[in-house]
Amino acid sequence: MNFVQIRDKYYPDLVAIAYSTLMIEVNEENESDFSLVFKLGKDEYKLGCSELAIIWGLPNQGCLFEGGKTPIGDWGYSKENAMGIFNLTQGTHTKIPCNPMWVEYRTLLYIISYIFQPRVSGPATVCDEDLIIMWAMVYNIKINWPYFIVQHMIRLKKKETSGGLGYLCLWTRIFNRVGIDLTNEKVKHVPSQSCIDIRLLRKMGRGAIEEGQEDQETQEAPPQA
């Protein structure tokens, strides 16, 4: 939850430059031994997986999973089974509306689509990548989250997905870690309505029930995320 509630200031100009020079260096003998590399001016900065895990407050012990990729075979994943678990049905034009989902899964989808794997479209519909990540979370499959995020950063840089620059506040923590002087840089603040905290999650839960969902206690209990 601490990671979800990160609310640091962000520096859009610096983030844009960092993304333009962003690279990932992977040890061919051990893929989990990777580094995020970027340049600002003449200076190059490099942060390894374990260091990113510390500054972002995320676990780095687990599968090297990339969003958009087929999940590892021993996950036991299938799209059909996932849609059944999350109470989903296929909509028109291959889109999957999130309305039928139970409250806890809609909340999880919100966090995934805005924080773990940000995209412009948000959580109005469920995509295949969402289903895979939710499956992993529900069944407690360990994921190397710094690796997942850095790989998504590379996708954002290549514009393979519509998530804007993404991870703005995570970049602030990187800049602070490597000692970049931010005094005279253009700074912005995350608006309060964009912050995710306990109050918002509770409000989302109440709102879903008010929209007409049945009392969850009368439904078959789904797997716990």
Residue 204 has pLDDT above 50, yes or no: yes
Q: What is the mean pLDDT of the segment spanning 176-183?
A: 95
Q: What is the mean pLDDT of the segment spanning 35-52?
A: 95
Residue 160 has pLDDT above 80, yes or no: no
Domain ranges of the chain: 12-212
Could you read off the pLDDT of 83-115 as tens digits, one per residue?
A: 999 988 876 666 787 888 888 888 888 888 888
Contact indicator for 60, 145 with CB cutoff of 8 Å: yes
pTM for this one? 0.81
Residue 168 has pLDDT above 50, yes or no: yes
- For 206, the enclosing helix (H) or strand (E) is helix 198-210
Q: Give the residue among 214, 194, 62 at the shortest CA–CA distance from 139.
A: 62
Residue 206 has pLDDT above 60, yes or no: no
